[in-house]
Amino acid sequence: MARLFGTDGVRGRANADLTPELALAIAESAARVIGSANSTRRPRAVLGRDPRLSGEMLEAAVTAGLTGAGVDVLRAGVLPTPAIAHLTGSYEADLGVMLSASHNPAPDNGIKLFAPGGHKLPDEVEDEIEAGLNSEWDRPTGGGLGRVFEAPDAAGQYIDHLLSAQTHRLDGLRVVVDCANGAASTVAAEAYRRVGAEVLAIHAVPDGLNINEGCGSTHPEDLIRAVVDSKSDIGIAHDGDADRCLAVDADGTLVDGDQIMAVIALSLKAQGRLVQDTIVATVMSNLGFKLAMRDKGISVVETAVGDRYVLEQMRASGFNLGGEQSGHVILSDFATTGDGLLTALALMSEMARTGRPLADLASVMRRLPQVLINVKHVDRSRLDADLAVSEAVAAAQADLGESGRVLLRPSGTEPVIRVMVEAQSDDHAREVADRLAEVVQSALALN
């Protein structure tokens, strides 16, 4: 049977895959596994959600599961995922629960769990929660049941936390923020205005169904137009739960997560604040990012794809900056998870500190053309052992030299192998990728 928890909690189509019954069972089991660690007081949980319609239904189910297991619930309402992680720590809660499917469309939803301190759960704790689903246990009654409270000034506390990390005011900076009709709609514009920016918010009127719909970090077209039309200095694109941040410069050019990490890394290094002059990134970060960091004396430690693996490496080694090309950026001096608003503020602070426009800052790296081909209906398990594929990869890398890169990565859920090639030109990258994809399809095809 497939593992219930993915790389970022439990996710599925709300009321079909992710039913109220499953949400209640997950909450009950999580309460027993995590809440039982505190014997000095009744355990408490912080519960938040993004504005999608199904969040109301799942919030009721999770609340019932937690209180039925004897856990007090602090309802934080609609807030970004990193806000719930922060509040889990600041309220000294035993558990944090965020209901969101991030950048997915409105019919989807998910459950993300945080341990005390606001850290993501390790795999073994998730496995223990899954093993406890629907098991027999002694249910509390009477005064043993949990209570429900509104989290005191949750949004205000989160904004204050963001601003406590801010090193420069943004007076005179004109900003357009695309809130993706998601959780950023409640806090982003206010946070940016409080440090002096002139803010135009778009897609900031969620109705429960329009989250991520043609907007946000996965659809930046409206943001690009708004930045150019309003003659703004920068555009910020968040996703549905605001743990991501992409940017747009004054000319309407998209600035991705690799470029944002490069700008912040150089800023921290210049201020003597980048731990061991090292940044953590995934294998999917553009080669141009890695070459730029090498040229600036910054080491890059690579992990598997997924912000949880970036976080694990950062915590294990004590590094304070990491992230993904998609815009998940982790500033661990101030956050336990990726925080799109914190990232945006750090990026805009560097513009204010240096007086340089975003395009100039982002030019520290050149994104190499990247081609990605999904080769379907192949046997993922034979990828590393197949001689023909290994020889083709070696030949491709020799062809590209140090100015290009090849990466073959099996899908975690489908009979698909992803062939990624970076080169100095689009044509060269496409040619090498097509050639490799043909070898993979021929050598590893399912019978």
Give the residue numbers annotated as catalytic, written as ranges.
102
User: How far is residue 273's CA from residue 37's CA, in Å, rounded to a whole number?
Assistant: 35
**Beta bridge pairs of residue 278:** 299
**Beta bridge pairs of residue 268:** none
- Nearest Cα to Cα of residue 200 among 219, 222, 169: 222
Cα radius of gyration rounded to whole Å, the chain:
23
Interstrand relation of 174-178 and 198-202 (parallel, antiparallel or unpaired): parallel
User: How far is residue 319's CA from residue 300's CA, in Å, rounded to a whole number?
Assistant: 11
Structure tokens at 397: 């890398």
Residue written as token pair 């594929």: 389
- Reduced DSSP (H G I as helix, E B as strand, rest coil) percent helix, strand, coil of the chain, to 5: 40, 20, 35
> Exposed/middle/buried for 209, CB within 10 Å: 0-12, 13-18, 19+?
middle
Q: How far apart are the first and last CA of the chain?
A: 23
Structure tokens at 311: 């976080």
- Cα separations (Å) of 359 from 48, 166, 259, 260, 366? 36, 21, 10, 11, 12
